[in-house]
Amino acid sequence: MNRSTLHPSQLRLLELLGSSTDEPMTVRQLQELIGASSPSVVSHHLSQLEKKGFLRRNPFNPRDYQVIRDGQVDEAPLLHLDGAARCGPGGSILDGAPIDRLRIAARLLSFPVSEAFMVRAEGNSMTPRIGEGDLVIARRTELPENGRVYVCVNDGECLIKRVRLIDDQILLESFNSSEFPIFKASDDFFQVEGEVKHVISGGL
């Protein structure tokens, strides 16, 4: 990887991106700082940096990226924390506006970082596996499989549940089944956001 071959604007972009990973800039902010004529010029340079191996971007969120130095990627990438997901009633919808970004050891993930997101669990319907305040790492998917645990949106509520596919029905099941009985997913709106892959007890 030879930075001497990069356009001056690309070198400046790498410098800016590397110094602002905790608070990523928008394309328009980058445009102003490098003196580009339009946002499309910035987008072009970012694409070139990615093609040349200096940058890795999350396809789900262009402000989520990793600057690659000397061929090495950060071993503790930043993951989005997308708010709270109820282990029970009354959650919030994942809206693509993360409330925080936390560093997680890459070894915890058995899949690409770009497909990962986090939510903080609330409630006790998924105990003993998932408790109040636990950080839940999920892998983005919209296609549930029978018996697996997902972060999902059910009629406006963001929940963590085991999904049961029985005949033509989708049922949502809690681990704490003695207090929280299984129930049918909403006919109006149900969507899987991601499959639960890891749980960090007690958060960070």
Please compute the mean of the pLDDT values over residues 112-118 and round it to a whole number. 82
* 8 Å CB contact between 144 and 170: yes
How far is it, in rounded angstroms, from Cα 58 to Cα 76?
Answer: 15
How far is it, in rounded angstroms, from Cα 117 to Cα 55?
Answer: 20
For the chain, where are the alpha helices, taking DSSP H only?
8-18, 27-34, 39-51
| pLDDT over threshold 80, residue 63 | no
> pLDDT at position 102, please?
75
More confident residue, 81 or 135: 135
Of 56-60, 114-118, 176-180, 197-201, minimum mean pLDDT range: 56-60
Please compute the mean of the pLDDT values over residues 59-77 and round it to a whole number. 63
Count of CB atoms within 10 A of residue 181's CB? 8
| pLDDT over threshold 80, residue 154 | yes
Burial class (CB in 10 A: 0-12, 13-18, 19+), 113: middle
Most confident of 11-20, 54-63, 171-180: 171-180
71-89: per-residue pLDDT in tens?
555 556 667 777 776 766 6
User: Could you give phi then psi for residue 149, rounded to 5 degrees?
Assistant: -100, 135
* 8 Å CB contact between 114 and 58: yes
> pLDDT at position 61, please?
60
Q: By percentage, how much of the chain surpasses pLDDT 70?
A: 78
Domains of the chain, with CATH numbers? 3-67 (1.10.10.10), 78-200 (2.10.109.10)
177-195: per-residue pLDDT in tens?
999 999 999 999 999 999 9
Direct distance between the N- and C-terminal alpha carbons of the chain, in angstroms, rounded to an integer: 35
31-48: per-residue pLDDT in tens?
999 999 999 999 999 989
How far is it, in rounded angstroms, from Cα 145 to Cα 167?
Answer: 13
